[in-house]
Copies of this chain bind each other. A is one copy, B any other.
Amino acid sequence: MKIVTTIKEIKAILKQERRGDKTIGLVPTMGCFHEGHLALMRRAKEECDVTVTSIFVNPTQFGPSEDFEAYPRDLKSDSKMAEKVGVDYLFAPSVEEMYPEENLTHVNVEKITDVLCGACRIGHFQGVATVVSKLFNMVNPDFAYFGEKDYQQLMVVKRMAKDLNFDLQVVGVSTVREEDGLAMSSRNRYLSSEERKAALVLSKSLRLASEMVENGEKNPGEIRESMIRLIKKEPLVNLEYLSICDTISLRELTIIKREALIALAARVGKARLIDNILIKGN
């Protein structure tokens, strides 16, 4: 595996690779890898000739009061893990490399960014859509892999790629969980052991919702109430939002007909955690 830090070099390398008609898979990440990231890389390895993983903690997608500075970075450990999975190129540019001068250009996706995380993290998805556009233009991949844990991010990137006619396919990969159900996240390391235990209520509440739908519940109000009742039993968990919404428009549902997304965010200690589940109605 080769570590590349400049845009010029990654473009030159991939131009060469593309000549051999090879397909390129991109896994954009902020590093600090866990099994969730590795699942994206393994999927890219399976489906593409060349796998590129980018690591870039993108300042423009963090709000002023968010954890940009504190966000964990560990290129050494990340390199080892990516190499073991068989990644071909680890692209790890600096902030100066990505934003050499004032960035005046922004990519905005309307409507589906007004809800869920977008409603709480103003400017977040503009930062995401813009940096992903930049990475797409640098790497020019055939496939780009994003985790379903950040479901809204996946939908925003999919919509952006479609609207702007990026010549690639955005692939969503299932959330990877710890054995007890907690969704893997780089931010889990912010949790004390007590908080870690309390955080479990989030995935539990999603499983409860899933069971309710399986048992015929079609009313989002009933499901929400049961979930909130469960989550409130953990005083360390502060729910930020809980949404039962359409899987494409992300608008709140008044009745569950076929599919639905149940998504939530909560503060647990210093960590802001998100999780979601896709459910099928009866």
Contacts and interface: CB of A to CB of B under 8 A. Distances in A.
Interface residues of A, number: 26
A11 interface: yes
Interface stretch (A38-46, A156-164, A199-207, A230-238): A156-164
A103 B137 contact: no
Interface string A90-115: 00000000000001111111111000
Nearest to A167: B137
Interface stretch (A27-35, A128-136, A257-265, A270-278): A128-136
A193 interface: no
A163 B109 contact: no
Contacts of A164: 105, 107, 130, 133-134, 137
Interface of A: 7, 11, 103-112, 129-130, 133-134, 137-138, 140, 159-160, 163-167
Given A105-B110, A137-B164, A137-B167, 9 more contacts: A7-B165, A104-B109, A104-B159, A106-B107, A108-B108, A134-B163, A134-B164, A134-B165, A137-B165
